[in-house]
Structure 1
Amino acid sequence: MPRVEQETYLPFARDDVFAWYTRPGALTRLVPPFAGEVLEEPVDGPVDGATSRLSLTLPTLLGTGADAAAGMLGTVLPGSIPSRVTWVSRHEDFRPGHGFTDVMVSGPMRSWRHEREFHDDGPGTVLHETITYEMPAAPRLPGPVRRRIHRVFEAELRRIIDHRAHQTVQDLAFHQSTGHLASQQRERRSHLDCDTEDATPGPQVVAVSGASGMIGTQVCALLGGAGLEVRRLVRGAGTDPEDPAEIRWDPDTGLLDEEALADVDVVIHLAGHPLAARFTEEHKRKVRASRVDGTTLIADALARLETAQPRGRALISSSAIGWYGATPDDRTQQAEMLTEDLRCGTDFLAEACRAWEESARRAESSGVRVVTVRTGIVQSPSGGALQQMLPLYAAGLGGPLGTTQWQSWISLDDVAALIVHLALTPAARGPVNAVAPEPVRAREYARTLGAVLRRPSVVPVPGFGPKLLLGAQGARELVMADQRVSAEKALELGYAFRHHTLAEALRHVLGR
């Protein structure tokens, strides 16, 4: 039976590493965006008998490209296009602090067993992984064909293992920087037991709207990895009234369960009608109303709760770099770098962002700390601009969207971690740009993506393409926007970016 083994050194104590692996959200953080997503993870960690359910893409760039195409078409066509396989695992041989095993219950393999062993190595940990597997029909294939399939498959396995190792180190370093490693939390609790000053625990309960979205999923996983209690704001029809992890709300009807929100320290508000559609009057109305109405509902509820019972609550509300206007012609102030102190632009998205942020600021007068996160172009194959471009690049037909326009991007990991950082940083207030420190021109973006994928990047995307999907206004304000946005405030607030350059970000999210 084929066997793959790999050892990874992690520069953190074994107890901290193992604790992170068993916290809520760990599996979500470990599944690479190029490989699929988690549909269901164990509530109590990978203990004996627990199960996980994943949706996995097909291997290689062609599989990632096909999945991206299906995801993109799913936003404009009724129904969904199948591009993944479902994988169900059972967890067994759970030994606290030392290891656990996953066994495939159902999926595309004939058999699969993944063993993890955690060993002390000085101040760090060595993670030893052993995977034994059997592919369907492999024994009946000719020897050269069978060996070729195994080489391709094992190369994909090592891509995933390498991604997971990098992700584990990055997440543990992030939690260490905020004081949320398991060992740090134990030490803080012991200080609290001793009545020590300066041992305030910080936020313990965080509610998240838009928790099932591309960014919200990763935000919730990072919060779970920090050992914080996460509650999801869920539309009323889909909630379980007995589930303490869900808070009922419906911005269309003004419904919000304030009683369930009363002991929440921070609300991270990410919900809003998707932008990627033709900019008809009805679509623009939904975009604006969903953001303003939902934010107003949450901000007013937090304001009432903070007035009645002050506890230093915070609202971290999503916004966008659309605040600045799509092009210099859409701005009342001209600047080489767009910083948070500039007035909003004059086009539709700028006005929508202005009303959006004003709705969040309603809570400030009651003592709620409010941060509005102006998000740039998020890099992930599971959504946004990169998802739309991948099918063309995978087919060898990729090229630039525009020429000299500045594109202010940010990796999915960085936008999620920055949001959590702002939630845990008392000094963070007001607007904060969620963009990487090094924006690029449109031509440079295309060249970088082509180099990472080892595909040509010379075929310009025809201007009518984005217009067909988004309409002339949508294409102008989204695809062809020219925004060179500063990341300086995020840096000043102590956030350490994981991906400073576009090449770093793309190699990580695409496993290249």
Structure 2
Amino acid sequence: MSLKFSSVVPAPLDEVFEWHARPGAIARLSPPWPPVRVGSESGSLRDGRAKLIFPGGVKWTAEHRAEGYRPPSQFVDRLATPGLSTVLPWRHTHRFEADGPERTVVTDEVDTPLPAVVLRSMFAYRHRQLAADLAAQHRYRHEPMTVAVTGASGLVGSALTALLTTGGHRVVRLVRREPRTRDERTWRPADPDRDLLAGVDAVVHLAGASIAGRFGERHRRAVRDSRIGPTRALAELAARTPDGPRVFVAASAVGYYGADRGDEVLTEGSAAGRGFLADVVTDWEEAAAAGGDLRVVRVRTGLVLSPRGGVLRLHHPLFAAGLGGPLGEGRQWMPWIGLDDLTDLYLRAVTDERLAGPVNAAGPDPVRNAEYTRTLAAVLRRPAVLKVPYLGPRLLLGETGARELAFADQRVRPQRLLDLRHVFRHRRLDQALAHVLATTTPDTAGEPG
């Protein structure tokens, strides 16, 4: 059976084809809802191989076929995993056709026995993602840069590095082990090598221990120690490296504002709050300021929406099973942001000299927990009536964790981005959730056909 999925991308033919040939393309096109990860990327659309890893170690090997390689109009891959390819034949032809100088018709033609209903949401996601990535890279177009990234293997880091490399930039991953490729450098957080950032144009510092967990003394120490000292050491190194970075972009968090701000609208000019996380984030941002005369951007991030990590990774299976519900009375504000909107913001922070200082990384339409609950349940077409009492998160996270994470109340407004007329991919919560959960809202229902 041959299935076709087509859409029009507002970008020139050559640009669209080249995007697919760059490192990171398969990661950017892989939907976040199936439990699949990229094992390896293809080095060539002509005759390379890429591998996807399924649960249980099952490998999907996509082999590019030289006879189908016709740049910039077409490339072909087929399933080449021994055994699997016999029971599930798969041949995927990627076609590109100019529709004027600034538009390209993208068509995926798949020969497979799988029914269209199984594949439709995946290809709808791929086409939306391709168009949105190209649009973001066009908005923040810049001559190719070398960007050093800590935390590159994490949820945000892996998405961001792929966005950067498909945009033509080089990413140097700062890792805490011996390098395995020429694009890795060993980073000692407490005492980084003096040449670590030589030849680097920008630093994106994402590394830090997860704040998820029970807030005992050991956890608090890990959260704090993984952020303050390493950030200061890296920022100071960036500032004194002669041929080093011009911009230092550091992760931060809306925890800066404290856990209980009620209906107060929180912009970048609002005062810091009180509590453990507020103190940690304040010191974290001060450490980033050690970048001195560099342009320093501090990205105060809200709840990042992706089923691959963060709060949605926990909520998705519960709500999908009809076991979700509001936390307490559900009146606490939840500053959320889609993962792709967050990576767009980091791309902008690296390339746009107008961004400096703190920037709130949150969607322009914050919601209370009760509305978040209703929206997620509606997107998944499930009920959500099981109210979660305060005792539950308290048992899991401790008193501090329950108050400062689960029941944090922060009405964050991305004023700096709004002032710059920043383009959000998803301004509404239902749109953001639908995009990453294999479903649609009325505004996102136009799928490739």
Question: What residue in structure 2 maps to residue 204 of structure 1?
Answer: 145
* Superposition map of 1:219-234 within 5 A: 219-234=160-175
CA distance in structure 2 between the aligned counterparts of 1:457 and 1:5, rounded to whole angstroms? 36
- CA 1:461 to 1:102, structure 2 compared with 1: closer, same or farther past 3 Å? farther
Match of 1:131 among 87, 110, 123: 110
Letter in 2 for 1:232: R
- Is 1:358 equivalent to 2:331 in the alignment? no
Q: Deviations over 1:36-84 (max 9, x none)?
A: 4542343634231x1112234xxxxxxxxxxxxxxxxxxxxxxxxx577
- Is 1:115 equivalent to 2:73 in the alignment? no
* Superposition map of 1:58-457 within 5 A: 82=55, 85-92=58-65, 93-106=68-81, 107=84, 110-123=88-101, 124-134=103-113, 150-151=114-115, 154-179=116-141, 201=143, 204-236=145-177, 238-240=178-180, 243-251=181-189, 254-305=190-241, 308-309=242-243, 313-328=246-261, 336-364=264-292, 367-402=293-328, 403-457=330-384
Question: What residue in structure 2 maps to residue 478 of structure 1?
Answer: 405
CA distance in structure 2 between the aligned counterparts of 1:248 and 1:414, rounded to whole angstroms? 29
Letter in 2 for 1:420: L
Q: Deviations over 1:190-229 (max 9, x none)?
A: xxxxxxxxxxx4x611010000000001110111121011
Q: Secondary structure at the match of 2:105?
A: strand
- Residue 122 of structure 1: CA displacement? 2.5
TM-score where L is the length of structure 2: 0.92
Q: Deviations over 1:343-374 (max 9, x none)?
A: 2211000001011111100112xx21101100
- Residue 16 of structure 1: CA displacement? 1.1
Q: Secondary structure at the match of 1:372?
A: strand
CA distance in structure 1 between the aligned counterparts of 2:302 and 2:422, rounded to whole angstroms? 16
Q: Secondary structure at the match of 1:428?
A: coil
- CA 1:488 to 1:156, structure 2 compared with 1: closer, same or farther past 3 Å? farther
Check the 8 A contact 1:36/1:54 in 2, yes or no.
no
- CA 1:480 to 1:45, structure 2 compared with 1: closer, same or farther past 3 Å? farther
CA distance in structure 1 between the aligned counterparts of 2:74 and 2:191, rounded to whole angstroms? 45
- CA 1:294 to 1:443, structure 2 compared with 1: closer, same or farther past 3 Å? same
Letter in 2 for 1:249: W
Q: Which runs of 5+ in 2 are unaligned?
A: 440-449
Letter in 1 for 2:282: R
CA distance in structure 1 between the aligned counterparts of 2:108 and 2:404, rounded to whole angstroms? 47
TM-score where L is the length of structure 1: 0.81
- CA 1:401 to 1:86, structure 2 compared with 1: closer, same or farther past 3 Å? farther
Q: Deviations over 1:419-473 (max 9, x none)?
A: 1111111111111000000000111000000110000011112333322322221
CA distance in structure 1 between the aligned counterparts of 2:366 and 2:372, rounded to whole angstroms? 9
- Residue 6 of structure 1: CA displacement? 2.0
RMSD: 1.9
- CA 1:245 to 1:131, structure 2 compared with 1: closer, same or farther past 3 Å? same
- Residue 490 of structure 1: CA displacement? 1.6
Check the 8 A contact 1:247/1:261 in 2, yes or no.
no
Give the share of equivalent positions with the same residue, in percent: 43
Letter in 1 for 2:290: R
Letter in 2 for 1:394: A
CA distance in structure 2 between the aligned counterparts of 1:397 and 1:38, rounded to whole angstroms? 27
Q: Which runs of 5+ in 1 are unaligned?
A: 57-81, 135-149, 181-200, 329-333
Number of residue equivalences: 432
- Residue 504 of structure 1: CA displacement? 0.5
Check the 8 A contact 2:200/2:245 in 1, yes or no.
no
Letter in 2 for 1:216: G
